[in-house]
């Protein structure tokens, strides 16, 4: 088997808030094309870990190397431009804009003030928006206000807003929370399609969903990595059962 | 470019915008000049200079969500730049021969200043003055914007800081009487490059220049809002984090919009000086800055055209009521602001666009107030 290339290498990452170590000496390596799921009880530091990677929170110590670029030194928008996309836990879309506008605004061109002023809606933009809309099953809602979408559709739209930027690493915080069974299946299929040519980190509690998508699973507990491995190995591990799955 | 702008406007979804602009142009360029005598028309021209500020606030507050309570700063800076040029022209050595130092503005002479201060010198040049009107306030807005937005200061804190800066600038102008004309401002402005701006014909011409600039500003703003930047502003107001984590430097977008609003205010200020014939700190400080926000709120903070009507109506109301009930005016103004915020969140433009929703909102709020105000014993159990 070929040795896989590492896309994201997190080493000894720690952040402490007034002495409380939300993330404590975490090591995590994500390969190119891998779907990694992070599970763990509430307060385990899952969301904080994503915050650290995307620059929302600043680390106390450690390194976050993405394609060998140290992300800790970069501003949020530069991290995004380097190829890291992040979906928030609650659907974070622009409710006053249409689905089309939500996607167009996320198109990665014309990102400066003047650039956006003189941004032209060329055919490639229109094509790309329609391509993404088809991917996230929102073609028919393209000209509807995003605020009127169902909860699940909002989640998809936000994923679409990230996809249009074609990130090499996509981070999704509880993408299927609040979704119906059918929507969960559709989301799992969507994730499989989009992970074909990029790495994805997903935080999720729904074990069935995790099983459907995960290549590897990392269990966080009290800010530390408790265990890492395949879904089967994780579910069989006694420490994991005690800390998380058991109750 | 202008043709393209126009086509952009026409092809825009909301065609009623075009009709509304045409109606406004008709009102400003034909109806008002025919209906009003030059004294009243000049007054309208003065109110329209505030409309520049209001239109700028629609961009930065209405769409971008950046509430500035200090637009008087830029209105004042623009106005003072123009006033300094006009004052120097009015202070030639012949007409100031009776001063102890002829050739400097009269208020400097009264304050025992013997020579023109260095920063007044370049205002001998009209082209420098025009550039200064456009650049200085915008540059100042840029500096404020960088200092605030790069550090993620926003919302209420930003509003309070702009207000503080407006106050500081007023205190500075009033305190440095010899350099700025103090509380009286810069008065007795007479000619612009030898052209007497106090005559009726000059007032007509200035009114038309002012109205044309304002309409041009609205067309420009409409274009800005229809660009991707316009979408981004709406996005920013709604979910700032999402914009930031979509690869945008949010601070830069805000700084740019704030600068555009400042530029508009400055042009308004310069036109004010030209039409009214003086500039004073009473158009810089806290109260005028808040009034400018009220014009925008009354007109509708999402409506470029509504902002103009807001500025006109509130100012007409102000001059009518402050003549009749001088003491009551400030209270009325406050009540008007609260009323608009409570009942007309989208101002008069909202009333015009969605009369039904507005009526429902008024009804519900009134019922809620009645329920709250009812004596406790009359309320149902457990409330």
The ipTM is: 0.92
- Helix orientation angle between B38-57 and B286-299, rounded to the nearest 10 degrees: 80
Say what the pLDDT of residue A189 is: 93
* Residues of chain A positioned with their CB less than 8 A from the CB of B229: 113, 116-117, 119
Residue B347 pLDDT > 50, yes or no? yes
Give the domain ranges of chain A.
Answer: 6-92+167-245
* Residues of chain B positioned with their CB less than 8 A from the CB of A81: 247
User: For B135-162, what is the mean pLDDT?
Assistant: 95
β-strand pairing of A84-87 with A169-173 = parallel
Question: Confidence class of residue B360 from pLDDT cuts 50, 70 and 90?
Answer: confident
Q: How far is A239 from chain B, CA to nearest CA, in Å? A: 36
Question: Confidence class of residue B375 from pLDDT cuts 50, 70 and 90?
Answer: low
Structure tokens belonging to residue A96: 């006053």
Say what the pLDDT of residue B286 is: 92
Q: What is the C-alpha separation between A220 and A205, in angstroms, rounded?
A: 12
- A97 in contact with B at a CB cutoff of 8 Å? yes
- DSSP β-bridge partners for residue A13: A26
Q: Which residue has the higher pLDDT, A145 or B344?
A: A145
Topology of domain A6-92+167-245, CATH: Rossmann fold (3.40.50)
The residue in chain A having the minimum alpha-carbon distance to the alpha carbon of residue B255 is: A113
Say what the pLDDT of residue B377 is: 57
Does B231 sit within 8 Å of A105, measured CB to CB? Answer: yes
Residue A5 pLDDT > 70, yes or no? yes
* Residues of chain A positioned with their CB less than 8 A from the CB of B247: 77, 80-81, 108, 111, 165
* Residues of chain B positioned with their CB less than 8 A from the CB of A108: 247
- A75 in contact with B at a CB cutoff of 8 Å? yes
Q: What is the largest CA-CA distance in chain B?
A: 84
Backbone angles phi, psi at A65, to 5 degrees: -105, 125
- A133 in contact with B at a CB cutoff of 8 Å? no
Contact B271, B49 (CB under 8 A): yes
Say what the pLDDT of residue B279 is: 95
Does A77 sit within 8 Å of B244, measured CB to CB? Answer: yes
Say what the pLDDT of residue B12 is: 52
H helix or E strand, kind and range, residue B52? helix B38-57
H helix or E strand, kind and range, residue B299? helix B286-299
- Three-state secondary structure of chain A: CCCCCEEEEEEEEEEEECCEEEEEEEEEEEECCCEEEEECCCCCCHHHHHHHHHCCCCCCEEEEEECCEEHHHCCHHHHHHHCEEEECCCCCCCCCCEHHHHHHHHCCCCCCHHHHHCCCCCHHHHHHHHHHHHHCCCHHHCCCEHHHCCHHHHHHHHHHHHHCCCCCEEEEECCCCCCCHHHHHHHHHHHHHHHHHCEEEEECCCHHHHHHHCCEEEEEECCEEEEEECHHHHHHCHHHHHHHHCC
Select the residue of B232, B255, B256 nearest A105 (Cβ to Cβ).
B232
Contact A93, A102 (CB under 8 A): yes
Does A110 sit within 8 Å of B246, measured CB to CB? Answer: no
* Residues of chain B positioned with their CB less than 8 A from the CB of A97: 231, 234-235, 238
- A58 in contact with B at a CB cutoff of 8 Å? no
Does A54 sit within 8 Å of B245, measured CB to CB? Answer: yes
Say what the pLDDT of residue A1 is: 44
What is the tens place of the pLDDT at every residue in A196-224? 889 999 999 888 899 999 999 999 999 99
Q: Is B347 left (phi over 0), alpha (psi -120 to 50) or beta?
A: left
* Residues of chain A positioned with their CB less than 8 A from the CB of B258: none
* Residues of chain A positioned with their CB less than 8 A from the CB of B224: 117
Q: What is the C-alpha separation between B158 and B149, in angstroms, rounded?
A: 9
Select the residue of B229, B241, B246 nearest A113 (Cβ to Cβ).
B229
What is the tens place of the pLDDT at every residue in B95-133? 888 888 888 999 999 999 889 999 999 999 999 999 999
Say what the pLDDT of residue B2 is: 47
* Residues of chain A positioned with their CB less than 8 A from the CB of B301: none
Residue B7 pLDDT > 70, yes or no? no
- DSSP β-bridge partners for residue A86: A171
Residue B357 pLDDT > 90, yes or no? no
Say what the pLDDT of residue A98 is: 94
What is the tens place of the pLDDT at every residue in A68-122? 999 998 999 999 999 999 999 888 999 999 999 999 999 999 899 999 999 988 9
Does B253 sit within 8 Å of A77, measured CB to CB? Answer: no
Say what the pLDDT of residue B53 is: 97
For testing contact with chain B, the best of A78, A94, A118 (most B CBs within 10 A): A94
Does B229 sit within 8 Å of A117, measured CB to CB? Answer: yes
For testing contact with chain A, the best of B150, B229, B263, B346 (most A CBs within 10 A): B229
Q: What is the C-alpha separation between A170 and A183, in angstroms, rounded?
A: 20
* Residues of chain A positioned with their CB less than 8 A from the CB of B245: 54, 56, 76-77, 80, 85-86, 88
Question: Confidence class of residue B154 from pLDDT cuts 50, 70 and 90?
Answer: confident
What is the tens place of the pLDDT at every residue in B200-249? 999 999 999 999 999 999 999 999 999 999 999 999 998 999 999 999 99
Q: What is the C-alpha separation between B289 and B70, in angstroms, rounded?
A: 5
Counting Cα atoms < 13 Å in the Cβ hemisphere of A82 gives: 22
Say what the pLDDT of residue B379 is: 55
What is the tens place of the pLDDT at every residue in B21-63? 999 999 999 999 999 999 999 999 999 999 999 999 999 999 9
Does A93 sit within 8 Å of B242, measured CB to CB? Answer: yes
Q: How far is A241 from chain B, CA to nearest CA, in Å? A: 35
Say what the pLDDT of residue B265 is: 97
Say what the pLDDT of residue B363 is: 79
Does B227 sit within 8 Å of A75, measured CB to CB? Answer: no
Q: What is the C-alpha separation between B40 and B45, in angstroms, rounded?
A: 9
- A114 in contact with B at a CB cutoff of 8 Å? yes
Number of Cβ within 10 Å of residue B92's Cβ equals 12
């Amino acid at each position: 088997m070929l040795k896989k290339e590492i896309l994201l290498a997190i080493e000894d990452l720690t952040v402490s808030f007034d002495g409380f170590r939300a993330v404590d000496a975490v090591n995590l390596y994500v390969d190119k094309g891998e779907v990694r799921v992070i599970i763990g009880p509430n307060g385990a530091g899952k969301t904080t870990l994503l915050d650290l990677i995307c620059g929302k929170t600043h680390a106390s110590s450690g390194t976050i190397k993405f394609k060998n670029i140290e992300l800790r030194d970069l501003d949020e928008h530069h991290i995004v431009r380097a190829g890291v996309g992040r979906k928030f836990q609650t659907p974070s879309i622009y409710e006053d804009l249409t689905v089309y506008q939500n996607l167009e605004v996320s198109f990665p061109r014309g990102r400066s003030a003047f650039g956006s002023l003189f941004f032209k809606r060329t055919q490639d933009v229109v094509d790309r928006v329609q391509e993404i809309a088809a991917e996230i099953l929102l073609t028919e809602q393209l000209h509807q206000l995003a605020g009127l979408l169902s909860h699940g559709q909002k989640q998809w739209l936000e994923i679409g807003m990230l996809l249009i930027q074609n990130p090499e690493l996509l981070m999704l915080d509880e993408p299927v929370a609040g979704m119906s069974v059918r929507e969960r299946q559709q989301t799992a299929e969507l994730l499989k399609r989009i992970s074909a040519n990029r790495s994805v980190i997903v935080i999720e509690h729904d074990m069935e969903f995790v099983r459907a998508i995960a290549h590897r699973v990392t269990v966080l507990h009290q800010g530390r990595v408790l265990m890492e491995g395949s879904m089967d190995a994780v579910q069989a591990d006694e420490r994991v059962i005690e800390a998380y799955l058991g109750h | 470019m202008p043709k393209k702008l126009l086509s952009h406007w026409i092809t825009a979804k909301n065609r009623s915008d075009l009709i509304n602009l045409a109606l406004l142009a008709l009102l400003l360029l034909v109806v008002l000049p025919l209906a009003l005598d030059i004294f009243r028309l000049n007054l309208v021209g003065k109110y329209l200079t505030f409309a520049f500020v209001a239109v700028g606030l629609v961009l930065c507050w209405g769409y971008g969500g950046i509430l500035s309570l200090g637009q008087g700063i830029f209105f004042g800076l623009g106005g003072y730049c123009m006033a300094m040029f006009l004052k120097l022209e009015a202070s030639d050595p012949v007409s100031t021969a009776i001063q102890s130092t002829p050739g400097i503005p009269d208020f400097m002479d009264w304050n025992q200043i013997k020579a023109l201060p260095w920063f007044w010198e370049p205002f001998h040049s009209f082209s420098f003055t025009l550039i200064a009107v456009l650049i200085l306030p915008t540059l100042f807005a840029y500096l404020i914007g960088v200092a605030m937005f790069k550090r993620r200061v926003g919302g209420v804190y930003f509003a309070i800081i702009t207000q503080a800066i407006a106050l500081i600038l007023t205190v500075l102008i009033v305190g440095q009487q010899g350099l700025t004309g103090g509380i009286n401002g810069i008065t007795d402005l007479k000619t612009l490059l030898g052209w007497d701006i106090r005559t009726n014909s000059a007032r007509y011409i200035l009114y038309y220049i002012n109205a044309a600039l304002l309409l041009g500003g609205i067309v420009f703003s409409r274009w800005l809002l229809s660009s991707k930047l316009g979408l981004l502003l709406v996005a920013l107001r709604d979910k700032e984090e999402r914009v930031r984590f979509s690869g945008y430097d949010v601070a830069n977008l805000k700084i740019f919009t704030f600068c555009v609003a400042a530029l508009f205010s400055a042009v308004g200020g310069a036109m004010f000086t030209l039409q009214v014939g003086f500039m004073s700190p009473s158009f810089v400080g806290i109260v005028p800055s808040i009034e400018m926000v009220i014009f925008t709120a009354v007109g509708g903070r999402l409506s470029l055209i509504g902002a103009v009507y807001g500025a006109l109506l509130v100012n007409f109301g102000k001059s009518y009521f402050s003549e009749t009930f001088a003491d009551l005016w400030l209270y009325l103004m406050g009540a008007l602001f609260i009323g608009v915020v409570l009942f007309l969140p989208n101002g008069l433009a909202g009333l015009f666009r969605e009369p039904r929703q507005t009526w429902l909102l008024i009804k519900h709020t009134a019922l809620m107030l009645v329920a709250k105000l009812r004596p406790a014993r009359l309320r149902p159990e457990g409330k």
